[in-house]
Structure 1
Amino acid sequence: MYLIFRMLYVLLVSRGKPRLPIEQPSSTLTFRVLPNDIDINMHMNNGRYLTICDLSRLDIFIRSGLAKTMIQNKWMPVISEHTMRYKRSLGLFQKYHISTKIIDWNEKTFHMEHTFTSVLSGRVVAEGISKGCVVHKGVVIPPLEVMNVVTQRLKSKV
């Protein structure tokens, strides 16, 4: 499945899942390594892990209500730093889970943890940490303000 199809899949599936609290959202998605995910060594390409992390964050954005708030306020999510540790390979057609959760934040950035687990063995195959922020017209919006705006928007709908 090409990346656009995976993104459309996440957009559709995420809307039907339970709402996540903005303060500590976590998400788990399941995918399979496809031919366009592999490199010359016949395992998932290291760059593809980062793309899958993007999809997992999209699930969190949708389910927490952040996506609608970002669209309404013309905010943009930006990843400022990302590191990965690769422990084992994911082979062609192997099924895996990616779990993502916000683990911390400071005055500028959210810190997220990404864990890739093989469905077959149950073992962690890769782990990553990313730092991201929400910006508007080049200005970083503090995470606490982001969470307050999302919470207020959700409360006003109830």
Structure 2
Amino acid sequence: MNLYWRLLLVWLGARRKPRIRLGETIELGLTVLPNDLDLNGHMNNGRYLTIVDLALVEYMTRAGFVGPALRQRWRPMMTGSMIAFRRALKPLRRYTLRFAIDCWDERWAYVRFEFVHAGRVVAAGHGRGGIVGPQGVVGSAEMCRVLGADPVSPPVPAPLAAWIEADRLLRASHEAATPYPRQETA
């Protein structure tokens, strides 16, 4: 079972679930499959963010965004993420992924996600993303209009604000940095 099959199942399942509003939290019940594993026998750290994409598909489907996005040729795009791992997810373990869009600015939406097993958070993080169309990034005001949501964002939670600032500093340091000098080989 590959990720495209899982993506199809999530999308079809989301179409039968109740509508949600921007800011609400959804939960997906999932299982660690053999193709999710790394050499250490637990879910690969790179797989977590791929699984978060499944939650984004369910969220946007249940919020009523997929139809308008397809008509406008819009697509979601993640532009940054931060995740902290606390415990391993072993093969065939059932877990819950909690996902919500917490807040937004004029350009980006900020999401929160938690992987939960046996009542304990095993990994958690934030992501920043937006909607891209043929003319570039679609602003959050337009996203809110399409979703029938208040364009005024809820307050930015403190951990998210700290990550946003750390990300800004990291990007600024890369923009100001000079390229690494080339090493001569013998």
- Max radius of gyration: which structure? 2
**Amino acid in structure 2 at the alignment position of 1:90:** L
Using the aligned pairs only, state the percent identity: 35
Higher relative contact order (CA 8 A, sep 6+): 1
Question: Any stretches of 5+ residues in structure 2 without a counterpart?
Answer: 150-186
What secondary structure sits across from 2:79 in the alignment? strand
Partners in 1 of 2:147 and 2:100 — Cα distance? 17
Q: For each residue in 1:59-99, what CA deviation from the matched residue of structure 2 results, as whole angstroms up to 9, or x when unmatched?
A: 00100011111101111111000111000000011110001
**Correspondent of 2:132 among 123, 135, 158:** 135
Runs of 4+ in 1 over 6 A off after TM superposition: none
Partners in 1 of 2:11 and 2:142 — Cα distance? 25
Aligned length: 149
**Amino acid in structure 2 at the alignment position of 1:17:** K
Partners in 2 of 1:26 and 1:142 — Cα distance? 22
Aligned match of 1:113: 112
Offset of 1:139 from its aligned partner?
1.8
Question: Any stretches of 5+ residues in structure 1 without a counterpart?
Answer: 153-158
Partners in 2 of 1:34 and 1:73 — Cα distance? 35
Q: Please say if 1:60 is aligned against 2:59.
A: yes
Aligned match of 2:78: 79
Partners in 2 of 1:93 and 1:79 — Cα distance? 28
Aligned match of 1:96: 95
Q: For each residue in 1:12-47, what CA deviation from the matched residue of structure 2 results, as whole angstroms up to 9, or x when unmatched?
A: 1000000011x3132110111111111110000001
Offset of 1:150 from its aligned partner?
3.0
Give 1 or 2: higher strand fraction: 1
Aligned match of 2:31: 32
The TM-score with structure 1 as length reference comes to: 0.90
